[in-house]
Amino acid sequence: MESFSHYWQLAKITSSGRYCCQPFPHVQTWFEQCFLSTLDDASDRDVQTALVKRWQTGGPDMSIAQLSLRCFISHHIYNTCRHLAQQFGQHYGFRTTDILPYVLDDNGRLRNSYRPFSLEILERYTMNKAKLSTWTTHLTKNHRGLNDFLLEQGLYRISNWAILNDTTCSQLDRIFKNFYQFPQAERQAAQVLLQRYHQVYRRERHLKLQTRRQGTRCQSPTYEQLQKIAINQSPEQVLAKLESLATKLRQYRIYKRSGNIQTLGNVIYLDELDNFSVERYMSVETAGHDEIDEQQAFFQQYQTNLEQCLRQAIQQALQQRVASLRKRSSELKAQAYLEAVRLFHQKGLSMGAIAARLSQQFSPHLSFNNQVQITRLLKLKELRTQIRQLTLDNIKNFVYEAAGQHTSAQRLTELAPSIETILTQTIDQIIGEAAAEAQSPNRHQPESRLTITLCEVVEHLAIA
């Protein structure tokens, strides 16, 4: 009987976001009374068929049968989310608990002011078409809110072959020309490959769909199909090129749908983006473990260098401002500036409070009568603009040097616009978070990456 407990225990998340199971004793009692004599020989499919019939007939057991089915569905929603996190979470930066709130919203009440996702799954279910567990997995993986979140993380859950299937040659040429800025020869070669893929794969897929011997999901091309697509190439080489082509299209779609290019490494290591979603059933000589380790080493070094560049830019910008105040005004004004920066970012004081504090601290030599004077002293927008440009200039040098070890000089020149776009987006996000934090009326301690580093640099300069 323990193996059937998912029919009376509801998988849910608490108000604090933790996963738990809520038992319903009255559902357990009813379930055992209904199925006790048949459970030894019954399968999940048998139990579900009986429960669905009790629910759909509208008898006195309708509500409790529905709740029992919702309990079963909730566990499969959880298992689907856990599987997604195990498969993609480490690479794309999310956990099971990050995606559960989008789909695990059933509170177990028979009357709700809203329609829980588990009930939507149940109401759309047809017994003779699929198992309830399969149907639950399908709808969960295709939940709009869940996939919007995954897309924000850079995960576009559609197979390479579906992407190639619904991309026309003219679309491919436009994307490769305008987004990637590939030369004409490379664009033409890609169009020829895609056209061959359509002629072989799409035609045979349509035939299979007409005979209904295969589901709607696009499967990997067979070895025979790859042989037909190949022109003076091996099937292994064709597969690698098709995956590379699909990866570039996937990257473009992620950018168009989420507004972000996923990572810097996906441009420098563009052919390695989709290792998690492609079943490499053939021995293709592409990225091995050594190359993946090399990518990870690059990402780690990039993050370290970005942090160093940010710190250097902050220090350089502050030092230039201090030097300017010393030259144009006085040493005390320069000290007052550093103290104002510290009080604003580290202590979270308002401009008015800073004015009062500085007037007291530097009296009688300096006087700050109002918050406008502090605003002019700090020039926060100008400071952030300077930090942004200095960080961008510094990190570019590292990236181009590192990228040059993995691609030709000509290819690096072609990739330059994409690399600069990614770097600009990354740094603009860092600056934007700091700007938003500065506008918050409830600043108590620094939280953004830039502000935390800024406070550390200010402390060092003040001591020096």
Mean pLDDT for the stretch of residues 247-269? 60
pLDDT tens for each residue of 95-116: 899 899 999 999 888 877 788 9
Task: Look at residue 216 and tell me whether its pLDDT is greater than 70.
Answer: no
For 381-431, what is each residue's pLDDT tens digit? 899 989 999 998 888 888 888 777 766 777 677 667 667 777 777 787 788
**pLDDT grade, residue 24 (50/70/90)?**
very high
User: What is the rounded CA–CA span in Å between residue 100 and residue 2?
Assistant: 25
Asked if 81 and 95 touch (Cβ cutoff 8 Å), the reply is: no
163, 246 in Cβ contact below 8 A?
yes
The whole-number average pLDDT for the span 254-264 is 56
Distance, CA of 223 to CA of 229 (rounded, Å) = 10
Six token digits for residue 104: 């695990």
Residue 53: CB atoms within 10 Å: 13
Mean pLDDT over each residue of the chain, to the nearest integer: 79
Check pLDDT > 90 for residue 73. Answer: yes
Q: What is the pLDDT, as a whole number, of residue 257? A: 64
Q: What is the mean pLDDT of residues 424-452?
A: 78
Least confident of 118-122, 352-356, 433-437: 433-437
Q: State pLDDT tens for residues 123-155.
A: 988 887 778 988 898 889 888 888 888 877 777
* pLDDT recorded at residue 67: 94
Average pLDDT of the residues in 6-17:
88
List the Cα angle 451/456/459 in 5-degree steps. 120
pTM across the whole model: 0.47
> For residue 322, what pLDDT is reported?
92
Q: Which amino acid is at 188?
A: Q
- pLDDT value at residue 209: 54
The alpha carbon torsion through 219, 221, 224, 229 (nearest 10 deg) reads 150
Among 30, 36, 92, residue whose Cα is nearest residue 62: 30
Q: Residue 119 pLDDT more than 80?
A: yes
pLDDT for 180 equals 74
